Structure 1
Amino acid sequence: MTKSATQEATAKRKTYSAPALEKGLDILELLAGEADGLNISEITQRLNRSVGELFRMLVVLQQRGYVSLENGSDRYRLTLKIFGLAHRFPPVKRLTSISAPILQRLSYDIEQSCHLVIYYEGRGHVVVQQDSPSARVFSVRLGAEAPLLNTCSGHLLLSFADQNTRKQMLTRIPSQHHTDDEFDLEKVLAKVQSQGFESIQSAQAQGIQDVGYPVFDYRDQVIAALVVPFFEYFDGSRHTSIKEAHRYIKQAAMDISTSLGYEPG
């Protein structure tokens, strides 16, 4: 193909368009940045399009499960369907396949449940979960959300993110995840980063001490938080103390990290 023919082919590729697809993608990209959702009037204004142009797009996206209307609300929100599709993507799939046997071993070593949390759109999400082999189990549901501001996993994901990424993460936190409790977040995150782990009382359950360590990828960036909701029996039948559990959890986080290509300094 001659140079002029190549340039002509490139120009044609650049001018190809699929208006319906572009409208749908515009809606998804817009809603991805709106944790509280938008009503159809706000969507049309933001995209500078008419209701007639976008109404059918929204109906189809809702039918296919990509957007949803909250009960009693006219606001459209992005669902986790795209997250689910991304979960099939090799890097995420690799994370879950690598971590699953390590978490299973960890749960048997310390007789506690454990889970792995990644960041997505202003929230943490549990992507791998392993129950304790014990007859008495406390665990977090696979797919559950973890608020960033008051959870062990959230503190880890924020603490070990670079400064620019952390700022973006904070701006995407849903309004309902903000609390009236006043605390110095920067001080909390600095402490977590300094000690290399987080250990706090669970914000969701009484008597649970959440212990977590960061998981890094080959780029030396935090990719997940490994968390154990640690609890003790009154009869003392658990053989592993929380101090001993720290050693196992730290090692498990490191095993996952090195399997992902992380090279500790």
Structure 2
Amino acid sequence: MTAKKEVRFREVPAVRKAVAILRLLSRAADPMGVNAISKELELVPSTCLHILRVLAEEGLVVTESGTKRYTLNVGILSLARGLMRGNEMIRFTQPELDRISRRYNVSIIAAKTIDIEHSVAVAISHSSSAMRLNVEVGSRFPTLVSATGRCYAAFGNVSDEELAEQFPKLRWHVAPSRRDWKKQISEAKVQGYAVDIGNYISGHMVISVPIMDHDLMAYGIAAVGNETQVKKSKDDLVADIKAVIENIDKH
């Protein structure tokens, strides 16, 4: 395993605060006022207001008509549209995710791994079952949880020291033992995919297959469904996802 070069960067507080505001508004069910935003993010209200005014000028947020409360503006969509237009993987994958979801009655999520702590959903197809995942495009989640996390641990050039540091921070429905988790990571290296049975979501099985870029995991495609149902179709489901990834590589 090659040593990772430490990346140094200069902290830019205003940028970090602006991003935090955008993420908060993306999660909010209703528009929020300056005081509510600053309290939630522990910002100085005047600083929060100045940042909101700049974001509004750039078309990323807008004040609700007749109030002083803020919500996301359509400028966010133009940024996302550029990502979707420029990402061949997302454009090619979505119809395939829909097909697999219908065939096996599972929810399918394609996620981009940002780093060892963060991943983001870039494409999703929900199953028709009553249980609906609380995940949408743009949702962020810890990289190392569930089956996708085992894949990243296996194919992300992660050291044992990093895994030992991150494991206690992970949240599960029923946490696996560290020993079992490491065994499952080793199995993922051999099989080319990882499985989570009931650890992350009670009564559900998650299968994740990595999408590699220069021998490192860049994305993961995960299927989530009823444990009994997914177990019966596991081999076919894995083969189907791997076939999709092979076609992505050809593109």
SS in 1 for 2:244: helix
Deviations 1:199-235 (A, max 9, x none): 1114343221101111124x343221111113267xx
* Distance in 1 of aligned mates of 2:86 and 2:198: 27
* Distance in 2 of aligned mates of 1:191 and 1:197: 8
Aligned CA RMSD, in angstroms, stands at 4.4
User: 1:25-174 counterparts in 2 under 5 A?
Assistant: 25-28=12-15, 59-61=49-51, 64=55, 85=79, 88-89=82-83, 93-120=87-114, 122-132=117-127, 135-140=128-133, 141-143=135-137, 144-163=139-158, 167=162
Kindly indicate whether residue 203 of structure 2 is the aligned counterpart of residue 196 of structure 1: no
Unaligned 5+ segments in structure 1 are: 1-22, 33-37, 41-50, 67-80, 260-265
> Which is higher, the Rg of structure 1 or of structure 2?
1
CA distance 1:246–1:97, change in 2 (3 Å): same
Deviations 1:104-132 (A, max 9, x none): 22223323221111223522222211123
**Equivalent residue number for residue 241 of structure 2:** 249
**Equivalent residue number for residue 204 of structure 2:** 208
State the aligned residue count: 195
Shift of 1:183: 0.5
Structure 2 letter corresponding to 1:153: T
**Equivalent residue number for residue 20 of structure 1:** none
SS in 1 for 2:120: strand
Contact 1:113 1:137 (C-alpha < 8 Å) held by counterparts: no
SS in 1 for 2:199: coil
* Distance in 1 of aligned mates of 2:164 and 2:50: 31
Unaligned 5+ segments in structure 2 are: 1-9, 20-40, 61-74
Shift of 1:186: 4.5
